Amino acid sequence: MTALTSEQILSAIHHFDFPGQLESFARYGHGHINDTYLLQLRIGKIGTMKVILQRINTDIFQNPRELMENICNVTMWLQNKIQKAGGDAERETLNVITDKQNQSYYRDPRGNCWRAYKYITDACTYDQPLNVQDFYQSAVAFGRFQNLLSDYPADHLYETIPDFHNTLKRYNYFEKSLKEDKLGRANTAVDEIAFVKEHQNLTTLYQTKAGASDIPLRVVHNDTKLNNIMIDNLTHQGICIIDLDTVMPGYVMNDFGDSIRFGASTALEDETDLSKVNLDISAFEAYTKGFMEQCSDKLTELETSLLADGARIMTYECGMRFLTDYLDGDKYFRIARPNHNLERARNQFALLKDMDQKIDEMKAIVEKYR
Ligand SMILES: Nc1ncnc2c1ncn2[C@@H]1O[C@H](COP(=O)(O)OP(=O)(O)O)[C@@H](O)[C@H]1O
Ligand SMILES: [Mg+2]
């Protein structure tokens, strides 16, 4: 995405019908995908209001119309449910502010796509969990999100990034890269390649447990990072899920599993001392508890029995993607040093090894909160 000038941002702002007078705007938050700005508006003599303006990253999301249609439909559904439950729909879900043409986003003459959200007050996001309690709160928020959307017709959503968590397709792509071995790197990753092949059964594990049609398609978030959850400043509760760009039809086990993959590891994704990389079983339990408390009654028995496997599958898929990118010459994941993607793959595989050992314990924990 090209850099933006203040004039371009101002011009975009004027295409929205915000109340009051613009006082200031500035870059905001720590998102890695979109360009996020916080606008301060003055209303009358004493009132102020904040608004979030974002330039959508159209390098990644090439179909902003479909993406915004997904977001509008899902957030309207959530607003409705939250209001019926007596909640605060201004804080517990995103609210899209349309542009002057009443469109959900505005495309400027350069092709930049802009959208606006009501600002969620008295809450903030964290980049890293400070403690297990924060991780539990993120589970509560995602469990509630799943609960409120459990009867949403997920197949009506656009698949904005096709085959996002199609592990089998990703495996086939890995095999293709390995066969081509364009940079001759395969002989430097012999153990990791063997590991991926040994775990090939994970690519079809859901399907072997059931006919694919037995697992319901649900509204999944696909980016369950902690900094996509607004945490209330006073109560410290997870109140709202944001960053809905990757909302798509998918399996609930994948959202659950990806949260565990990065949130319940004892090390960061870039840790190279593999003795430090394990599954933190108490973090796993905290997340499972929060998630199940909110939505266990909406999940089928089959889905529940596959939640722990979701963590293994997401960890496998992620490690395999790092390894594939290493073989391909580091085209997708930005690297800070040579071998970075190979190291990341090793990190994920160390985590998966530990999960393999703990899988019975993980499943027992899920059962406990069923
Ligand atoms: N409606 C909102 N109210 C308050 N803060 C928000 C809102 N939307 C986004 N933010 C803040 O901006 C950050 C980046 O937004 P996000 O939609 O997650 O972008 P990205 O896709 O780049 O991660 C969030 O982590 C959050 O701190
Ligand atoms: Mg984000």
Degrees, nearest 5: CA angle 152-256-136? 105
Atom 20 of ligand 1, nearest CA residue: 31
Ligand 2 center to 253 CA (angstroms)? 20
Ligand 2 center to 3 CA (angstroms)? 19
Most ligand 1 atoms within 8 A of CB, residue of 35, 52, 233, 245 to mutate: 52
Please enumerate in sequence order all residues whose Cβ is within 8 A of that of 83, keeping only pairs 6 or more positions apart, or say none: 89
Ligand 1 center to 128 CA (angstroms)? 15
**What pLDDT sits at residue 209?**
82
Task: Quote the CATH superfamily of domain 132-368.
Answer: Aminoglycoside phosphotransferase (APH), C-terminal lobe (3.90.1200.10)
Ligand 2 center to 227 CA (angstroms)? 6
Atom 19 of ligand 1, nearest CA residue: 31
- Which numbered atom of ligand 1 lies nearest the CA of 124? 27
- Which numbered atom of ligand 1 lies nearest the CA of 35? 22
* Contact yes or no for 12/112 (Cβ under 8 A): yes
6-121 CATH pick, 3.30.200.20, 2.60.40.2240, 3.30.1180.20, 3.40.390.30? 3.30.200.20
Question: Ligand 1: residues within 6 Å at CB?
Answer: 28-34, 36, 52, 94, 117, 119-120, 125, 227-228, 242-243, 245
Ligand 2 center to 9 CA (angstroms)? 20
Domain boundaries, the chain: 6-121, 132-368
pLDDT digits (tens, 9 = 90+) for 263-290: 999 999 999 999 999 999 999 999 999 9
Atom 11 of ligand 1, nearest CA residue: 29
**What pLDDT sits at residue 207?**
86
pLDDT digits (tens, 9 = 90+) for 338-364: 999 999 999 999 999 999 999 999 999
Closest of 152, 155, 138 to residue 238, by C-alpha: 138
Walk along the chain (370 residues) in steps of 10 and give the mean pLDDT of each run.
Answer: 94 95 96 95 92 96 96 98 97 98 97 98 89 93 98 96 94 98 98 98 90 86 93 95 97 97 94 98 98 97 96 98 97 94 98 98 97
**What pLDDT sits at residue 347?**
98
DSSP per-residue codes, 76-100: HHHHHHHHHTT--TTTSS--EEPBT
**What pLDDT sits at residue 212?**
58
Residues 284 and 64: their CA atoms lie apart, in Å, by 35
Closest of 168, 171, 353, 165 to residue 275, by C-alpha: 353
Atom 15 of ligand 1, nearest CA residue: 31
